[in-house]
Structure 1
Amino acid sequence: MKTITSRDNAFYKEIKALATSSQARRKAGHSLLDGVHLCQTWLDLRGAPRHCVVSEGALGNAEVQAIVARCGAVNAPVTALPDALFNAVSQVEHGVHLLFVIDTPQPATPPALVMASVLLDGVQDPGNVGSILRSAAAAGVKQVYCSPGTAFCWSPKVLRAAMGAHFVLEIFEHVELPDLVRTAQIPVLATSGYAAEGLYTLDLRDPVAWVLGHEGQGVSTEVLELATHRVAVPHLGQVESLNVAACAAVCFFEGLRQQQALQA
């Protein structure tokens, strides 16, 4: 284990840039996992990180000790920072001071939609994106496609909101959704508060692709027109629509309910 004590250290500057700059993360092709849960889940599902960074104060924590030992067993570098330096790079308040630097997964985009999928069309809020990923993974969705205007899925806020869902999903970013929808080999269902077709009238027992749109503008007109179905989630009261993450969860788990009913 190495120890860094200077703010001028090149590696420390690199970590700080990754923690504070989306541009730096994209340019380097690296992301940060902050906290015991994300780091533990990465080890369990994906293996060794590129680098493990821990604060000196966290080294007495039993969970951190176990993770550091696992990193050593797979030859992942481990670096300790004084608590003051670590605080400047972590965005988690009152958390356990542990970070993984990972290579941001960048799978090749498949030529067509063929399995249970989610298409995010300009969803901008990182918390919404993370919540959608978490619900998608829990409902058995396999792939997520993000338009150029969607929040970067590997940003710290999205990672924290998704709670490890990234590691069981294939996530494709900067995808031109209209082209993808045109070649889809499964039904494409675009959500819209103004659609005439209700969610609970649909047969969702086979794989489908859900399209979820921008928090204010919804799914783009072009994608709406290309979709197999335009779907509304019925709701009571005088609110105009559901939050996009709530809408996603309702849709995903209605599909899961129908699939499990078929199996029973």
Structure 2
Amino acid sequence: MEELKSAKNVRVKEWKKLLTKKGRDQSGKYILEGAHLIEEALKSDDIIEIMVQSNYTAFELERLRKFPVTLISAEISQSISATETPQGIFAVCKKRTAGVDPAIHRKLLLLDGVQDPGNIGTMIRTADAAGIDAVIFGEGTGDLYNPKVIRSAQGSHFHLQMETGNLMEWIKKLHAANISVYGTALENAVPFTNVPASDSFALIMGNEGAGVAPVLLQQTDKNLYIPLYGKSESLNVAISAGILLYHLRKPI
């Protein structure tokens, strides 16, 4: 099995580019790190190649042999890792093509300008747990393939349909497909408990500071808020998304 030792190798430089949004956008690929995430990736068709630190023994290499596998040194592992303590196993994966269809994907989460990678990843993971079909990344929202987003989502990005798009256009598409669209706001809004659970809906969550853009809130069916019973001034956007998604979806 081939082994690379120098972080100056041209292949290593190509892998490092995948830690940047520009590199991911230009190549249509991204880098995945860690045994758990790669376990999830193995269930998909997304893996292009795998890189394993030469002293890595916690993973069964036999299961990886259907992919090109490269042994790498600790120096390379450190240079292509987005964490302080690399786990020693990486994969290059292809980015998924757009495939959200309102005729099929009837429960959706729309993100408007959400920027914190931890919040984005947590919302993807929560949407997955709540049985949501798709997540749409609107303008100003962070990159799905940001390493911090991927880590926070814990593999859930493999389980959902996701794509970027213009949320105004998506609201029109959803309404044409008879899917109710709910915004989140503090003013001109109703308590979320006023809306019944449904088999089809779309929920818009907004920027951590500014919330959902007013122009989008004007196009929704209803705008919702979560009552605060204690002294806290607000809820984290990812926590709010979890409360609302579980309320809105009809139990199986």
Give the TM interval when normalised to the shorter protein.
over 0.9
CA contact (8 A) 2:181 2:201 kept: yes
Unmatched segments (≥5 aa) in structure 1: none
Deviation at 1:195, TM superposition (A): 4.1
Partner of 2:144: 153
Partner of 1:177: 167
CA contact (8 A) 1:113 1:183 kept: no
User: What TM-score results when the alignment is normalised by the length of structure 1?
Assistant: 0.89
Alignment partner of 2:80: what SS?
A: coil
Alignment partner of 1:57: what SS?
A: coil
CA contact (8 A) 1:117 1:210 kept: yes
Partner of 1:34: 33
Q: Does 1:105 align with 2:106?
A: no
Deviation at 1:171, TM superposition (A): 0.5
Distance 1:43 1:35 in 2: 12
Further displaced range: 107-116 or 145-154: 107-116
Return the match for 1:207 from 193, 196, 200: 200
Partner of 1:70: 63
Deviation at 1:236, TM superposition (A): 1.6
Change in CA separation of 1:200 and 1:247 when aligned onto 2, cut-off 3 Å: same
Distance 2:216 2:104 in 1: 14
The one-letter amino acid of 1:51's match is E
The one-letter amino acid of 1:144's match is V
Change in CA separation of 1:242 and 1:113 when aligned onto 2, cut-off 3 Å: farther
Deviation at 1:251, TM superposition (A): 0.6
Partner of 1:24: 23
CA contact (8 A) 1:139 1:253 kept: yes
Alignment partner of 2:8: what SS?
A: coil
Change in CA separation of 1:210 and 1:201 when aligned onto 2, cut-off 3 Å: same
Partner of 1:187: 180
Partner of 1:49: 47
The one-letter amino acid of 1:119's match is L
> Deviation digits for residues 13-70 of structure 1, max 9, x if unmatched?
1111212x211111111011110000001102x1461010111121x22xx2x2x322
Deviation at 1:138, TM superposition (A): 0.3
Percent identity over the alignment is: 30
The one-letter amino acid of 2:28's match is G
Deviation at 1:180, TM superposition (A): 1.2
Partner of 2:10: 10
Alignment partner of 2:55: what SS?
A: helix
The one-letter amino acid of 2:95's match is T
Aligned length: 249
Distance 1:109 1:232 in 2: 27
Further displaced range: 186-195 or 139-148: 186-195
CA contact (8 A) 1:48 1:71 kept: no
Distance 2:104 2:97 in 1: 17
Provide the alpha-carbon RMSD of the alignment: 1.7
Distance 1:79 1:132 in 2: 33
Change in CA separation of 1:6 and 1:152 when aligned onto 2, cut-off 3 Å: same
Distance 1:23 1:113 in 2: 32
The one-letter amino acid of 1:126's match is P
Change in CA separation of 1:133 and 1:6 when aligned onto 2, cut-off 3 Å: same
> Deviation digits for residues 183-202 of structure 1, max 9, x if unmatched?
32210011113343101121
CA contact (8 A) 2:133 2:161 kept: yes
Q: Which runs of 4+ in 1 moved over 3 A?
A: 108-114
